[in-house]
Structure 1
Amino acid sequence: MSRHRDQLLTIGLTAAASAALTIFVRNFISGEKKIKHRIAQRYGISDPQFERSMSQLLGPPILPGNKVTPLYNGVEIFPAMLAAIASAERSICFETFVYWSGRVADIFADALAKKAREGVRVNVLLDGVGCNCVNGDAIRRMVDAGVELEVFHLGNFARTNERTHRKLLIIDGHLGFTGGVGIADEWEGDARNENEFRDTQYRVEGPVVAQMQAAFLDNWMRTRAEVLHGEAYFPQLREAGELHCQMFKSSPMEGSESARLMYLLSIAAAEKNIRVGNAYFLPDDLTTQTLLEAVERGVSVEILVPGEWNDSKTVRLAGRQRIGQLLEGGVRVYEYEPTMYHCKNMMIDGLWTSVGSANFDNRSFRINAEANLNVINRDFTATAVQVFRQDLQRAREFTLQDWHDRSPAEKIAGSAATLLRSQL
């Protein structure tokens, strides 16, 4: 009898160990090979070949006929999104990472619940890590009102390290919003102090909205196993403006190198200037090399990141530790001072702009589900550069001397933080 118990115990321990190993491998070891070879410059941003390459290599094509309106900080972002929700007649699709309990979360919950009670089909997808109120009143009010709500990978231990970081709101299939904003009180206001995050969201009209809807549906099908289709979700879309746009998406389940490839191809094609504003800047070795090669061929590279006000001290420590090589190579780095800088944007050669949810780190490049709106247009990019310049006026340059002058404690902590960079 004792021998039988020992056998059962051995079997149980073996099964538990196998399950733990499987979960670890699925979450922390990628089966995909990582791009290691440098991306050669074969064309510039203004060359038609660049647009063709981005259309074919990244999935959905770049489409003409779109209008994109930037919205700055919560003072502009939240009223525009809430007005769009109130205007919905047939469908609302809403996907976000951050949904934190508080006044803003309650306002959005009430707005979405109201439309569900009116008969609008409301589909909401929240991330299991980014939402801190899965069992809270705001979520219950939505569900009780008829909102179809799913939580991405909640309870799926084999996928618990994968998150949806996408920020998408699509109204009736013809009006979209994307960018970096989270649904939380921290995003209220106008970036006047440390309690009001600096961020940008984009209101989108035109044919590219169908690509935004498809990006939402991608994760909705994976979570709920339901296909949303028909006129309520994919109506005929007419041209709304002059912008050529692409809603690019990536995730570990459909090619985790796509986000990284988009950045690498864009940087490699730069001929004049690269401007990157990103909340979490932690480039890997190949991306660092690609930026340095851009500087070597005469490209001006400017990076804007959060300063002291930062919601991820680990990323800041690791990022500061890693940028020494960039500073030595001639890249200029600035730290935003008034509050948390949460934008995610890249502008190249006054023509190409990429904005959306993707951070400049391994988690966005290889682990998270991300969605970025890519725009190829001189006027749109000129406006984005102008705003970038305004943000630089509220930032302090972090020089190579500053990097050397970091305290011994920060250098040690930074070295330790970089050991975690595959998960940051």
Structure 2
Amino acid sequence: MNANPPSNFTTPDGHGIHWYDTGERFLGAELAAISTAQSSVLLEHYIFRASKVGERFRDALTEASLRGVQVTLLLDDVGCWGLPRNYFSQLIELGGKVIWFNPVRWRFWSFRDHRKLLVVDGAQAFIGGCNIAPEYEGDGIHEGWRDGGIGITGPVVKHLIESFESQVEIAGNQIWRVRKRGRNGWMRAGEDVSLLLTRPGLHQGVFQRALRSDLLHAQDVSITMAYFLPVGRVKQMLLRAARLARSFRLLLPGRSDVPLLQVAARALYGGFHRRGAKIHEYQPQVLHAKILVVDDIVYIGSANLDPRSLAINFEIMLRIRSAPLAQQARATFERDLDHSLPVKPLPWRKPSSWWQRVKQKMARFIFTRLDLGVAQFFVQKNETAERDPGGRGRSVR
């Protein structure tokens, strides 16, 4: 294999981009940026775990606060389950803010802030799939999950700050307005970079619409996806692209931290194989990356191609048109293929046993019907509460 292309890129619309192909490099770059922050740090994460890497981030944030930097953390209450509430006590004493997104309540527990975002000094941002936890350290081959992300400067950072502030506003509302509050949009930061924000209850959000447009005439598609369970129109547009594209490749987990979802995903392999897709499963470690390369366009961020990301969670993605960046992303994809096994078409056309068929149907029901149905029910309940704030729809702290 040839040496990888350079990792630093610029776009004609004024963005600077750095590609991080491992969780170790990505988290290291985030820590370095925090350690040199001069005015502000905004950190938003689904998971922040009490651990050695968690302590390094906490200490860097605390030291930044000591330098007079305004530090604001937005952490998901479910994703950070088990993190002691006094974990950031020194940071708070120094004036830092720690905000818990959607504290667990029976009606609203399903809607999670799955985003991963860091903005430093209002000028530099980091976005990807990595949480702050030990499993994201490492090279994704010998140790640690396979993940990564990008650093970016330029006009899109302003939109990222606005989206962070919007999430803080949502987190602070006593009555949690799922549809009415928060940004959901395709925000163009120039000709080459767009910010795609999704939130609960939107079955054809901007991520889906952008992807559908780009796949319409796509010739070269490479998708690395941690949780792959597309349904409805998303599934159909991917199947169509697999049939029409010159090359359509899927890199999916051989080892998963959600084995039941993997069972459901494998039930889809036959349909994609029959339309010409090439499927590989990553072997050394758990695959957690979410990267789509469609011709000269790269999508990267927190969203998976599954019902939870597409219709339940709050997610954040960047869409970047850059031939050099797409080349880099494909080089990373090719490197990952060296550590993957091709999936042969025949075994996935029919389950080998009645028990496997039962497992696939159960898994698909749980992830595409039950989880989605419960979330949709509470979206409707929430809308009722907004229309009748004095009635039974009122939520309590």
TM-score range (shorter-chain normalised) is 0.7 to 0.9
Please report how far the alpha carbon of residue 142 of structure 1 lies from its aligned counterpart in structure 2 after TM superposition.
Answer: 3.4
Please report how far the alpha carbon of residue 220 of structure 1 lies from its aligned counterpart in structure 2 after TM superposition.
Answer: 1.0
Q: State the match for 1:142 in structure 2.
A: 91
Task: State the aligned residue count.
Answer: 343
Please report how far the alpha carbon of residue 376 of structure 1 lies from its aligned counterpart in structure 2 after TM superposition.
Answer: 0.5
Q: Residue 397 of structure 1: which of 342, 354, 359 is its match?
A: 342
Q: State the match for 1:8 in structure 2.
A: none
Q: State the match for 2:68 in structure 1.
A: 119
Cα distance in 2 for partners of 1:192, 1:381 equals: 22
Cα distance in 1 for partners of 2:203, 2:365 equals: 24
Tell me the SS of whatever aligns to 1:143.
helix
- Counterpart residue identity of residue 277, structure 2: V
Cα distance in 2 for partners of 1:269, 1:256 equals: 19
Q: State the match for 1:219 in structure 2.
A: 167
Q: Greater helix share, 1 or 2?
A: 1
Contact 2:40 2:71 in 1 (8 A): yes
Tell me the SS of whatever aligns to 2:88.
helix
Please report how far the alpha carbon of residue 328 of structure 1 lies from its aligned counterpart in structure 2 after TM superposition.
Answer: 2.0
Please report how far the alpha carbon of residue 384 of structure 1 lies from its aligned counterpart in structure 2 after TM superposition.
Answer: 0.7
CA 192–268 in structure 1, closer or farther in 2 if over 3 Å, else same: same
Contact 1:215 1:371 in 2 (8 A): no
Tell me the SS of whatever aligns to 2:163.
helix
Cα distance in 2 for partners of 1:357, 1:102 equals: 22
Q: State the match for 2:378 in structure 1.
A: none
1:336 to 2:252 alignment: no
Q: State the match for 2:221 in structure 1.
A: 274
Please report how far the alpha carbon of residue 120 of structure 1 lies from its aligned counterpart in structure 2 after TM superposition.
Answer: 1.3
Cα distance in 1 for partners of 2:101, 2:217 equals: 35
Q: State the match for 1:382 in structure 2.
A: 327
The 5 A counterparts of 1:203-214 are 203-214=151-162
Cα distance in 2 for partners of 1:162, 1:63 equals: 37
Query: What is the CA deviation profile of residues 318-341 of structure 1, one whole-angstrom value per residue up to 9, with x for unaligned ones?
Result: 111123211222211110000011
Please report how far the alpha carbon of residue 298 of structure 1 lies from its aligned counterpart in structure 2 after TM superposition.
Answer: 4.2
Query: What is the CA deviation profile of residues 310-367 of structure 1, one whole-angstrom value per residue up to 9, with x for unaligned ones?
Result: 1111211111112321122221111000001111111112x11111111011111111
Q: Residue 238 of structure 2: which of 268, 274, 291 is its match?
A: 291
- Counterpart residue identity of residue 221, structure 2: I
Contact 1:65 1:244 in 2 (8 A): no
1:420 to 2:366 alignment: yes
Cα distance in 2 for partners of 1:380, 1:369 equals: 26
Q: Residue 188 of structure 1: which of 120, 124, 137 is its match?
A: 137
- Counterpart residue identity of residue 395, structure 1: S
Q: State the match for 2:313 in structure 1.
A: 368
**TM-score using structure 1 length:** 0.76
Please report how far the alpha carbon of residue 292 of structure 1 lies from its aligned counterpart in structure 2 after TM superposition.
Answer: 2.4
Please report how far the alpha carbon of residue 117 of structure 1 lies from its aligned counterpart in structure 2 after TM superposition.
Answer: 2.7
1:324 to 2:273 alignment: no
Contact 2:269 2:345 in 1 (8 A): no
Please report how far the alpha carbon of residue 276 of structure 1 lies from its aligned counterpart in structure 2 after TM superposition.
Answer: 0.6
Q: State the match for 2:395 in structure 1.
A: none
Cα distance in 2 for partners of 1:150, 1:253 equals: 23
Please report how far the alpha carbon of residue 379 of structure 1 lies from its aligned counterpart in structure 2 after TM superposition.
Answer: 1.0
Cα distance in 2 for partners of 1:259, 1:420 equals: 23
Cα distance in 2 for partners of 1:158, 1:91 equals: 34
Contact 1:69 1:203 in 2 (8 A): yes
Contact 1:90 1:172 in 2 (8 A): yes
Cα distance in 1 for partners of 2:23, 2:241 equals: 35
Runs of 5+ in structure 1 lacking a partner? 1-61, 226-241
CA 287–84 in structure 1, closer or farther in 2 if over 3 Å, else same: same
Q: State the match for 1:107 in structure 2.
A: 56
Q: State the match for 1:46 in structure 2.
A: none
Contact 1:260 1:366 in 2 (8 A): no
**TM-score using structure 2 length:** 0.81
Please report how far the alpha carbon of residue 253 of structure 1 lies from its aligned counterpart in structure 2 after TM superposition.
Answer: 7.0
Q: Residue 263 of structure 1: which of 211, 226, 234 is its match?
A: 211
Query: What is the CA deviation profile of residues 97-156 of structure 1, one whole-angstrom value per residue up to 9, with x for unaligned ones?
Result: 121221111111111122123221111001111113342553334334432011110134
Contact 1:259 1:366 in 2 (8 A): no
CA 304–254 in structure 1, closer or farther in 2 if over 3 Å, else same: closer
Cα distance in 1 for partners of 2:202, 2:281 equals: 34
Contact 2:25 2:148 in 1 (8 A): no
RMSD across aligned positions (CA): 2.2
Q: State the match for 1:311 in structure 2.
A: 257
- Counterpart residue identity of residue 360, structure 2: G
Return 250-259 or 375-384, whichever deviates more.
250-259
Contact 1:101 1:132 in 2 (8 A): no
1:169 to 2:97 alignment: no
Q: State the match for 1:39 in structure 2.
A: none
Query: What is the CA deviation profile of residues 193-241 of structure 1, one whole-angstrom value per residue up to 9, with x for unaligned ones?
Result: 3x4111111111111111111221120111136xxxxxxxxxxxxxxxx
Contact 1:259 1:364 in 2 (8 A): no
1:358 to 2:297 alignment: no
Cα distance in 1 for partners of 2:244, 2:141 equals: 38
Return 160-169 or 147-156, whichever deviates more.
147-156
> Radius of gyration: which is bigger?
1
